Structure 1
Amino acid sequence: MDVIFGHCWRCENAITREVNCRQCGVAKYCSDTCCRRDQYRHQPECEEWRPKQCSNPTCTSDSRQSLKECTSCNEASYCGKICQKAHWKDHKHKCRERAQEIRMKGAALQSYFKQRRGIPLAVPYYFGNTLAVDMLNVQANECSCEQEPGDKDPLKSDYFILSAGCGNLRNWIHTVASLPAEFSGKLHTFLNDFDPFVQARNVLQLYMMVMHRDEDNIATSITNIYYSLKLSAKDYNLLVNCLTALQDLTATGLNEITGGVIRLTDADMAPMREVWQSWLNLECRKGHPNYIDLHKQRQEGFRNSPDAAEGIKVYKTELPDEFVQSYDDYLATGNFQPLGSKRDDLQYDNPTLTGYRHPYLGGVDMGEVQRILASPKKLEFVYCIEENMNPFGSWDYLKVKKNHYHISMIVMFHGYITDQIQQVLKCLKAGLLTVSFVVWNCLELSVRLNPELCKVDRIFTSNMADYAGTQPLLKVMTPYLNRGNKCSVIVTQYRHWYALFPDARITSPETAGEDRIEVMSNCIAAAVKDTHIDTKESSLNNSRLMSVECKKAMARGSFFFQEYFNYMIYFVNYLRAEYVAFNEPLEDVSDELRNVVNMQNAFEHLGLGRDVACIPKAASLGASTTKPLPPPSFQEVKHTEGLKLRDFRRGELNKVAPYRYRRNVRRVNLLRGMQRMLEWYIP
Structure 2
Amino acid sequence: MPDSTLAETLRCSLDNMNTKQEKVSALLSAMDQGREHRPLNGSGLNNTSLDDLSSRVDWMDLARQHGIEEDLVASILNLDSRDTSTHLNFLECGNHDLMASPSRRCRNKATKTCSQCLLVSYCSAGCQKEHWRNHKQDCKHPLRLNDWQPRWVQEQRSPAFMQSGTGSNKQTFHGKDLSLWGNMPAIDILNLNENEGLAASQTRDLALAFVASGDLRNVIRTVNELPENYAGTLKILINDRDQMVQCRNLLLLVALGMIPELNEATEIAIHLWYSLFLPNHWLPEIMKILQSSGLITTDEGLCTLSPGPHSTLNILMDAETKFFFGSTFLLNEPDKLTLGIANNVWSTHMRDPNRVDYIERFYLNLEPSHRLAIDEWRRFGVLYPFDACSNYLNQPNPWLFSHDHELFLSDYSSPKEGWDMNAAFEAGKAHGTTRANLMGCLYFYLKDQLKSFAHRLRTFHIDISLVRYDAVELAKAIKNEAVPGIPRMISFDRIEVSNAVDAMYAGVKPMLEAWGPFLKPKAENEHAAIIGLFMNWPLYVEGARVKDSNAKMEEMTHKFTEQYPEIIPKDIGKDRKAMQKLNAIMMSVLHNTEICHDNSEAFNNYLRGNEAFKACKNAGLKTRTRNTIVPHRIAGTLGSEWNVLPPKLTGEKKYVLMDLQSFTWQERYVEWVKA
Distance 1:227 1:289 in 2: 17
State the match for 1:170 in structure 2.
Answer: 217
What is the Cα deviation at residue 312 of structure 1?
A: 2.3
Distance 1:641 1:318 in 2: 46
The one-letter code of the counterpart of 2:665 is: G
> 432, 444, 447: which is aligned to 2:461?
432
State the match for 2:417 in structure 1.
Answer: 393
Whether the 8 Å contact between 1:227 and 1:336 is mirrored in structure 2 is yes
Distance 2:310 2:353 in 1: 44
State the match for 2:188 in structure 1.
Answer: 134
Whether the 8 Å contact between 1:524 and 1:553 is mirrored in structure 2 is no
Is there any run of 5+ residues in structure 1 with no aligned partner, and where? 1-120, 145-151, 356-378, 533-538, 583-633
Whether the 8 Å contact between 1:462 and 1:492 is mirrored in structure 2 is yes
Distance 1:211 1:289 in 2: 26
State the match for 1:219 in structure 2.
Answer: 266
What is the Cα deviation at residue 262 of structure 1?
A: 4.6
- Secondary structure at the residue paired with 1:346? coil
Task: Please tell me whether residue 681 in structure 1 is matched to residue 655 in structure 2.
Answer: no
Whether the 8 Å contact between 2:276 and 2:396 is mirrored in structure 1 is yes
What is the Cα deviation at residue 177 of structure 1?
A: 1.5
> Judging changes above 3 Å, is the alpha-carbon distance between structure 1 residues 265 and 284 closer, same or farther for their aligned structure 2 residues?
closer
Per-residue CA deviations over 1:216-247 (Å, capped at 9, x if unaligned) read: 34312311121100122444554554555552
What is the Cα deviation at residue 333 of structure 1?
A: 1.3
State the match for 1:525 in structure 2.
Answer: 562
Whether the 8 Å contact between 2:492 and 2:518 is mirrored in structure 1 is yes
> Judging changes above 3 Å, is the alpha-carbon distance between structure 1 residues 264 and 309 closer, same or farther for their aligned structure 2 residues?
farther
State the match for 2:632 in structure 1.
Answer: 659
Task: Please tell me whether residue 294 in structure 1 is matched to residue 326 in structure 2.
Answer: no
Per-residue CA deviations over 1:473-525 (Å, capped at 9, x if unaligned) read: 10000111111211110011100111123533334xxx962564243222233
Give runs of aligned pairs for residues 575-654 of structure 1, distance below 5 A: 575-579=607-611, 641-647=619-625, 652=626, 654=627
Is there any run of 5+ residues in structure 2 with no aligned partner, and where? 1-174, 430-434, 480-486, 636-648
- Secondary structure at the residue paired with 1:498? helix
State the match for 1:344 in structure 2.
Answer: 391
What is the Cα deviation at residue 197 of structure 1?
A: 1.6
Give runs of aligned pairs for residues 174-193 of structure 1, distance below 5 A: 174-193=221-240
> Judging changes above 3 Å, is the alpha-carbon distance between structure 1 residues 514 and 265 closer, same or farther for their aligned structure 2 residues?
closer
Distance 1:637 1:233 in 2: 50
Per-residue CA deviations over 1:258-301 (Å, capped at 9, x if unaligned) read: 767454465x2534432332232245548x79667222223333
State the match for 1:489 in structure 2.
Answer: 529
> Judging changes above 3 Å, is the alpha-carbon distance between structure 1 residues 253 and 437 closer, same or farther for their aligned structure 2 residues?
closer
The one-letter code of the counterpart of 1:517 is: E
Whether the 8 Å contact between 1:563 and 1:673 is mirrored in structure 2 is yes
Task: Please tell me whether residue 459 in structure 1 is matched to residue 495 in structure 2.
Answer: yes
Distance 2:264 2:428 in 1: 17
> Judging changes above 3 Å, is the alpha-carbon distance between structure 1 residues 215 and 443 closer, same or farther for their aligned structure 2 residues?
closer
> Judging changes above 3 Å, is the alpha-carbon distance between structure 1 residues 126 and 204 closer, same or farther for their aligned structure 2 residues?
same
Whether the 8 Å contact between 2:307 and 2:458 is mirrored in structure 1 is no
- Secondary structure at the residue paired with 2:564? helix
Give runs of aligned pairs for residues 507-518 of structure 1, distance below 5 A: 507=547, 513-514=550-551, 516-518=553-555
State the match for 1:477 in structure 2.
Answer: 515
State the match for 2:102 in structure 1.
Answer: none
Whether the 8 Å contact between 1:204 and 1:243 is mirrored in structure 2 is no
Number of aligned residue pairs: 459
Distance 1:465 1:456 in 2: 18
The one-letter code of the counterpart of 1:660 is: R
Distance 1:573 1:320 in 2: 40
Distance 1:162 1:276 in 2: 24
> 247, 251, 254: which is aligned to 2:296?
247
State the match for 1:601 in structure 2.
Answer: none
Distance 1:344 1:641 in 2: 55
State the match for 2:326 in structure 1.
Answer: 277
> Judging changes above 3 Å, is the alpha-carbon distance between structure 1 residues 480 and 318 closer, same or farther for their aligned structure 2 residues?
farther
Whether the 8 Å contact between 2:213 and 2:497 is mirrored in structure 1 is yes
Distance 1:556 1:494 in 2: 23
> 310, 320, 328: which is aligned to 2:367?
320
Whether the 8 Å contact between 2:400 and 2:409 is mirrored in structure 1 is yes
Per-residue CA deviations over 1:101-155 (Å, capped at 9, x if unaligned) read: xxxxxxxxxxxxxxxxxxxx975432122221112222211118xxxxxxx9321
Per-residue CA deviations over 1:286-334 (Å, capped at 9, x if unaligned) read: 8x7966722222333346796x655423322243333111100011111
Give runs of aligned pairs for residues 94-173 of structure 1, distance below 5 A: 124-143=178-197, 153-173=200-220
Structural RMSD (CA):
3.4
What is the Cα deviation at residue 388 of structure 1?
A: 1.9
- Secondary structure at the residue paired with 2:490? coil
Distance 1:526 1:502 in 2: 26
State the match for 1:26 in structure 2.
Answer: none
What is the Cα deviation at residue 199 of structure 1?
A: 0.8
> 532, 553, 564: which is aligned to 2:596?
564
Task: Please tell me whether residue 402 in structure 1 is matched to residue 438 in structure 2.
Answer: no
State the match for 2:478 in structure 1.
Answer: 449
Distance 1:320 1:492 in 2: 34
Distance 1:543 1:380 in 2: 53
What is the Cα deviation at residue 169 of structure 1?
A: 0.9
**Higher RCO (Cα < 8 Å, 6 or more apart):** 1
Distance 1:180 1:258 in 2: 18
- Secondary structure at the residue paired with 1:523? helix
The one-letter code of the counterpart of 2:341 is: D
Distance 2:571 2:618 in 1: 50
> Judging changes above 3 Å, is the alpha-carbon distance between structure 1 residues 238 and 166 closer, same or farther for their aligned structure 2 residues?
same
Provide TM-score, normalisation by structure 1.
0.61
> Judging changes above 3 Å, is the alpha-carbon distance between structure 1 residues 409 and 257 closer, same or farther for their aligned structure 2 residues?
closer
State the match for 1:332 in structure 2.
Answer: 379
Distance 2:353 2:287 in 1: 32
The one-letter code of the counterpart of 2:383 is: F
Distance 1:278 1:326 in 2: 35
